[in-house]
Amino acid sequence: MKRTSKPVKVTLAHINDTHSYFEPSALQLTVDLDGNAITPYVSAGGFARIAARRNQLKQHASEQGRHFLFLHAGDCFQGTLYFSLFKGKANADMLSALNLDAMTIGNHELDMGNEPVVNFAKRIGFPLLAGNWDISQELTTKTCRLNDCENIKPYQPQTNTATYIVKEFDEEPVAIFGLSLDKMMDIAQPDTDTPFVNAIQVARNTVEQLNKQGINKIILLSHLGYEGDMDLAEQVKGISLIVGGHSHKLQGDFSSLGLGKDDEYGLKVNDTRIVQAGFHSLTMGHCEIDFSESGEVTHFTGKNELLLGRQLFLNASMDQVATDDTYRRVRQLIDNHPNVSVCKKDHDTQAILVEKYMPKVRELQRDIIGYAPRKLRHVRLPDEKGASEIAPLVAESFLFTLGQDGIELDFAIHNAGGVRNSLNEGKISTADIAGKLLPFAVPIGYYSVSGHTIAAILEGAIDNAINNGVEGTGSGSYPYTYNLKFDYLASQPQGKRIANLLVYKDEQWQSVKPDTIYRGTSSAYTMKGKEGYNAILNTVGTVGTTQYSMADCMVTFLKDDPNKLAKVCRHFTQVTS
């Protein structure tokens, strides 16, 4: 006898790309007050606020007779010192404290292969949805195996479908499955015996399988990126809601806070709603979804919220509280913003952080190694305001640090995605570098290549970053350099897009000769030839990897001269004036 479906009302909260940002961040807002731009700092986000807001939303849902779900759309690894120092252990404990119903796999969970994911999965208290991750051929000789983790829900090769979970609400099933980037091998380090397969085909087959079982209320937890979510919604029917991540998309209007305006929350593509909630634990999305008997979404309303504390600050260190009448009026404007939630911290979640993980982090936060006289901006792709001011310094730090060890080099190249944020004005600590700016635990290496290969490296990386003639993996591949200058001619044929390539050598700029061998340095990630850097594999002679991480190099670089950032700021001011 065929089961009779019933309508269901669900309140769903979601986060994504939290990247180990367990503590609140100092966020600068821009608020218009009587025609004047006021730029206070606020204490924004953090897991204790997420937990508190989650509890409020669940309580409110219960009072309205609604069911509740809380989902994470991937990329919890990397990002801060909490990952650098504790790897996935801190993430497992802090995410479990949030009482998630499920999470999907992000690409940064796989920056260091499968083993950290196994250790993470064994520690968490919720399912890890990985519906297009084929682990069926995983080697049995491994000591750390994904197949030993019952809470990992992988691809099913027999049916070409995702393993899904079902939540029963008033005896009515709501299915949730997860998908991740099927180009995972191009941007991360999954073990070669556990590939990712085509997400759209898996989604189509999974929806069909669920429908045959009489389940028509379907949620996809996605780490495909915003464009990927829209593409999937165009091609696959029957998914009610896609909860997404990867693109750091903050849907909604935050322009009156100086944070911009993007697509409306819950973008509708065909009959599918798409939501995504920013990044770094600053914000949280939530929506009310009413499903009809047939699985159609008959009511949808929701928003992203910036989670804030109650005080305004005059600086990024948040040690100078703003209290005069101007700031009281600004505070009122902020508090009344429809996309702001002022909330306290959940005591139990905060206690885990304070007692288990915070002491080691505080030690490094007290180690001051430099000072920035103004904000130093980082962007992946150069825009109308200019290029990254930080990524070239990071590249320079590689060459500087290896030079301290007597390794003679001509140039450095670093991908923009390896730098994670801008630097605020004020004191710079080891924690700022190793925990925020350069959190990825990736070593630096060195290599020798021809001048022709240097041009091919740069061209391939930029082509990938801007999708020029190739289907790229994102803007993070854009190359920033030290001791190299060049022009990129986008309209030229492939192989001829780098012009006027110069190297600084023998205390002067000189043309790079195609057949001359030059010695360079980059991160070990870049040296693997991923994300458009495949030409870097055409090395000549010795290739080496050092014991220095990206953060080690930048810390060494700044400690050599604490006034270095001040000199850089003067240089940029002179160049752009």
* pLDDT recorded at residue 563: 79
Q: CA-CA distances (angstroms) from residue 432 to 8, 231, 371?
A: 46, 37, 11
Alpha-carbon distance 16 to 221, whole Å? 10
Instruction: For 546-577, give one letter per residue: b (16+ CB within 10 A) or e.
Output: bebbbbbbbbbbbeeeeebbeebbeeeeeeee
Pairing state of beta strands 41-44 and 297-313? antiparallel
**Taking Cα atoms as reference points, which of 192, 107, 199, 216 lies closest to residue 160?**
199
Return the structure tokens found at 7: 């309508």
**Taking Cα atoms as reference points, which of 17, 44, 22 lies closest to residue 89?**
22
- Angle made by CA atoms 278, 45, 308, in degrees to the nearest 5: 110
Alpha helix stretches (DSSP H) within 169-258:
184-187, 199-212, 226-235
8 A C-beta contact, residue 479 and residue 457: yes
Alpha-carbon distance 87 to 120, whole Å? 9
* pLDDT recorded at residue 3: 60
| Low-confidence residues in the chain, pLDDT < 50 | 1, 572-577
* pLDDT recorded at residue 436: 85
Alpha helix stretches (DSSP H) within 341-494:
347-352, 358-365, 391-404, 430-431, 451-466
Predicted TM-score (pTM) of the model is: 0.82
Chain-centre distance of CA 434, in angstroms?
Answer: 16
8 A C-beta contact, residue 39 and residue 248: no
Alpha-carbon distance 368 to 432, whole Å? 9
**SS3 call for 534:** helix
* pLDDT recorded at residue 508: 96
* pLDDT recorded at residue 575: 36
Alpha-carbon distance 297 to 500, whole Å? 56
* pLDDT recorded at residue 570: 61
Return the structure tokens found at 337: 């913003």
Alpha-carbon distance 407 to 163, whole Å? 50
CB within 8 A of 512, min separation 6: which ones?
451, 454, 455, 484, 501, 502, 503, 518
* pLDDT recorded at residue 142: 95
**Taking Cα atoms as reference points, which of 116, 124, 94 lies closest to residue 22?**
94
